[in-house]
Amino acid sequence: ASRVWTLAYSADGKRLASGSADLSVRISDPVTGTTLLVLTEFPDPVYNVVFSSDNRKLFVNASGSQMAVFEAP
């Protein structure tokens, strides 16, 4: 298992995003634990994740050097 550096709940509480040292972001259902999406295209560990206030986007910062925006599932 890889070290998790950051966690963020969506505003509605229905999704949990985690960023970790294995260069990935996982979005899960916090009630069931089911993984909804895994993003693995980061060159560095992911230190920050945050959902937009409308729950439609996920902002990801990898090691302070890369910022990316994704459509949230």
pLDDT in tens, 14-73: 999 999 999 999 999 999 999 999 999 888 899 999 999 999 999 999 877 778 899 988
Angle, CA of 23, 29 and 31, to the nearest 5°: 130
pLDDT, position 42: 87
What is the pTM (predicted TM-score) of this model?
0.89
CA angle 37, 42, 2 (to 5 degrees): 70
Sign of CA dihedral 27, 72, 36, 16: positive
Angle at the Cα of 10 from the Cα atoms of 5 and 14, rounded to 5 degrees: 110
CA distance 45 to 54: 26
Q: Determine the pLDDT at residue 60.
A: 95
